[in-house]
Homo-oligomer: A and B are copies of this chain.
Amino acid sequence: MNYTFSGRVSSLKPSAIREILKFTADPSVIPFAAGNPATEAFPTEEIAAISSTILENNPIGALQYSLTEGYPPLRDWIRRHLDKQGILGNDDDVVITSGAQQAIELSCKILCNEGDTVICEAPSFIGSLNAFKSNNVNLVGVPVLSDGICIDSLEKALLANPNTKMIYLIPNFQNPSGITMSLEKRKAVYDLASRFDVIIVEDDPYGALRFAGEDIPPIKSLDTEGRVIYCGSFSKILSPGMRVGYVCANSIPLQKIVVCKQVSDVHTNIWAQMVCERYFTIHDYDDHIENLRNIYRRKSKLMLDNLKWEMPTSISFTEPEGGLFIWATLPDNIDMMDFCKNAVKKKVAVVPGVAFMVSEDIATSSFRLNFSTPSDEKIVDGVKILANVAKSML
C-alpha cells in the first residue's frame, strides 16, 4: 500500500551524514563519533550488588507498574540535590523521565504548535534538534561564541520570530562544541527570555562533569518567574542504558509534562529508578563525581595534547572545562565532509559538524570529537590517523 504520514513525520528527512555514522557500529573503527560514558566510569560491581538487594527485598516493587511521576524516594533525592544548588524554586517540583531526551521532547510537545519557533544554539545536540523537527517547529540556530550563545544574534532572532515559544540551551560543556556559557550571558539570556516572554529549556546532562575551572550557576537558579524548564540525567554520571533522567520546573508546565509522559510510556523503568536512588544514597555523591572528573580530565587532556602535537596548526580546537566533547575546525582549504569521509575510510569516525546544525544545508568546517568512548590507546592512534588525513588534504 501507499503510506501517508503526518506532516510532522514527513518533514523528517533521512540524514546525509548517515553514511558516516553507520560505520560507528563497526568495532574496528575508532569511535571518536560516539558519546558513551567511559567503560571505567561504570560502578558495575556496586550496581550489581544494589540490584541483587532490590530484587531480593522488594521484587514486586521493582517489577510491578509504578507511578508516572517517578519513584518517590528518587524524586526526594533529586529535590534535595537540586535544592543545594539553588535550582529548585518555591513553586517547582521534579518528575522522573526516560532520559533527559524525553524531558526535552515533551517540553517541546507541551509548548509548541506546528510552525512555532524554537531557538537553539548553532551547533546544538542532534537528538534535541530531531525532537524539535518531529514536532514540525521552525528551528532557528543562533551562533555560539567562546563564552556561549551570541546575545545580539539571540535578540535579533527573537525580534524576527515573534512566534518563538522556547529557547533551548546546553550551558555547560555544550554538545557538540564543549563551550561553557559565562554567568553574564546566562543572566542576559534570562533577561531576554523574560522580555520576550518565552520559556527556556536548560539541558544540563554534563554539569557534574566539570574537570577544570569553577562551577557557574545554572540559568534555572536565576529563575524567579517559573520560566526555566531544567533537564537533568543519570546517563552521564551512572548509566545511560538505564534511561533515567528528570525535569525540574514550575508545577503548572510540569503537570502538562506528566500527562504527556503518561501517554508516552506510562512510567520510567522502576528497577532502574530504584538502583539510582540506592546508589546515591549508599555511596557518597561527591566521591563518585570526583572519580568521574578524574577519568574525563585525563582522557580530555590526552586527546588535546595529542591533537596539539600531531595536527597541522591550521586546525583549531575548543578546550572544554568538562563534558565529553571537543569541537575541531578545519581551515578553508580542507572540505569538512571530505575530511570526515577520508577519516572513516582510515577507520576513525568523527561526526561532521552539519549534523548539529538546524539544517544540513548550513555550511560548517567543524567536526565533533569524543574522548570518553575510546580507550587511551585508541585516542593516541586515532589522532595520529586524523593528522595524517589532514596533512594529505592540505
Which A residues form the contact surface with B (CB < 8 A)? Answer: 1, 3-9, 12, 34-37, 39, 42, 44, 47-48, 51-52, 55-56, 59-60, 62-66, 98-99, 101-102, 105, 109-114, 116, 127, 130-131, 133-134, 165, 197, 225-227, 235, 239-243, 250, 252-253, 256, 259-260, 262-272
Contact B65 A44 (CB under 8 A): no
Other contacts beyond A36-B65, A98-B98, A114-B114: 5, CB < 8 A: A4-B111, A4-B165, A5-B111, A6-B116, A39-B60
In the complex the two chains form, what is the Cα distance from A44 to B61 in whole Å?
11
Contact B60 A9 (CB under 8 A): no
Closest approach, in angstroms, between the C-beta of A17 and any C-beta of chain B? Answer: 15
Contact B269 A243 (CB under 8 A): yes
In the complex the two chains form, what is the Cα distance from A319 to B352 in whole Å?
60
Contact A5 B256 (CB under 8 A): yes
Contact A113 B7 (CB under 8 A): yes
Contact B9 A260 (CB under 8 A): yes
In the complex the two chains form, what is the Cα distance from A112 to B4 in whole Å?
9
Contact B253 A267 (CB under 8 A): no
In the complex the two chains form, what is the Cα distance from A113 to B269 in whole Å?
30
Query: Are A44 and B55 CB-contacts (below 8 A) given A239-B63, A259-B130?
Result: yes
Contact B101 A266 (CB under 8 A): yes
Closest approach, in angstroms, between the C-beta of A233 and any C-beta of chain B? Answer: 11
In the complex the two chains form, what is the Cα distance from A116 to B5 in whole Å?
11
Contact A110 B39 (CB under 8 A): no
In the complex the two chains form, what is the Cα distance from A392 to B243 in whole Å?
50
Q: Which of B65, B241, B270 is close to A270, meaning CB atoms less than 8 Å apart?
A: B241
* Chain B hits for A102, CB < 8 A: 264-265
In the complex the two chains form, what is the Cα distance from A235 to B265 in whole Å?
12
Query: Are A130 and B9 CB-contacts (below 8 A) given A65-B36, A241-B62, A267-B243?
Result: no
Q: Which of B101, B111, B240, B264 is close to A64, meaning CB atoms less than 8 Å apart?
A: B240
Closest approach, in angstroms, between the C-beta of A286 and any C-beta of chain B? Answer: 22
Closest approach, in angstroms, between the C-beta of A71 and any C-beta of chain B? Answer: 10
Contact B131 A263 (CB under 8 A): yes
* Chain B hits for A241, CB < 8 A: 62-66, 269-271
Closest approach, in angstroms, between the C-beta of A144 and any C-beta of chain B? Answer: 22
* Chain B hits for A62, CB < 8 A: 241
Contact B265 A113 (CB under 8 A): no
Contact A227 B267 (CB under 8 A): no
A-B contact pairs, 8 of them (CB 8 A): A3-B250, A5-B253, A6-B109, A9-B109, A42-B64, A47-B63, A101-B265, A243-B266
